[in-house]
Amino acid sequence: MAVSEPLSYRAPVSANGSGLLVIERILRDRQSIWQQIVAERDLGQLTGNMLASSALALAVYGAVLGSFHSVLMALTSAVKLPLLFLVTLAICLPTLYLFNLVFGARLSVRQALAMVMVAVTVTAMLALAFAPISLFFLITANDYGFFKLLNVAILSLSALVGLRFLTGGMQVLNQHGLLAPAPPAAVPAVSPATVPVAVPDQAVEAAEPVAVPAASSVNGGPVSTVVAAPAVALPAAPPAVWDPSSPGPTWARTAPTRPGQHPAGQRPASMTLLYIWILLFGFVGTQLAWTLRPFFGSPGQEFALFRSIEGNFYAEILRTIAHLGS
């Protein structure tokens, strides 16, 4: 008789995920992603799946952005938006890797790339999830300034969530000691037999030799009487009892940590530099987006693949906000 499966059964997600399914594994089972990156297991396939899924998601979202102007703008934005993220990653990834090397981290290039690709994949998939909302406002409220600010807010929110995944993954790598220098080589233990023990002279003088009676013969031969040295009893040391309130050296009151792991409450230099790198990633990405514009296509202007470089991204956002308020 066939036995039905329990209701709680769920088919396991594949080891690396395939295509768009990799985002399901990242969101449902992110700990296995971190463990795979720590072990450097099949990182090439995992990174390739994340690259393909994020490029496809960003292309769809870019097409929504460009559809404000024309079909041709939608096609070019579908190419330029994935290119924006990939070029920003190519510019900033060496800096992240060298930051870690300078401060003794043991993070490899493949591990750093996989960690950043997790953040890019989450960002791209969240933007894709917001695409129907953006398309809805494009149809119902065809206002260039509002549409531009709405999508900048969507991309910013998606990027913040993606970078939150990056910092969480880096914390897991820190727990495994990959963001700290390699621990020093262990000092070989000294055998107790080679350690000299000071014995008081009075104890040696008071000890008397003990005669061991000889047997008549061993294998037919006589055996001489052997005089064995007596065992010297040493006073036992009192058991050590640790008192947290008692004064003493700091090392005696510090909880032990694993090799390469930082004590509780202490942030490694690599984690601090990670937040600096995130700011650098944001500045490079926004400036590159300003260089690759237009993504939306200004109303009343003809199609152009690129605009002349003038001003900057932040001044344009402030100008748009002031225009909406007037």
Q: What is the pLDDT of residues 121-143, one digit of tens each?
A: 999 999 999 999 999 999 998 88
Cis bond before residue 268 (omega within 30° of 0): no
pLDDT-derived band at 317, boundaries 50, 70, 90 = confident
Amino acid letter, residue 277? W
Pairing of β 210-212 and β 226-228: antiparallel
- Beta-carbon contacts of 208 under 8 Å, excluding residues fewer than 6 positions away, are 230
How much is the mean pLDDT over the chain?
Answer: 76
* Alpha-carbon gap, residue 298 to 301, rounded angstroms: 6
Distance from C-alpha of 26 to C-alpha of 31, rounded to nearest angstrom:
8
Q: Which residue has the higher pLDDT, 105 or 39?
A: 39
pLDDT of residue 267: 55
φ and ψ of 288, to 5 deg: -70, -35
pLDDT of residue 6: 43
pLDDT at 215 over 90: no
Q: What integer pLDDT is reported at residue 252 of this predicted model?
A: 40
pLDDT in tens, 151-208: 999 999 999 999 999 999 888 888 877 766 666 555 555 555 555 555 555 544 545 5
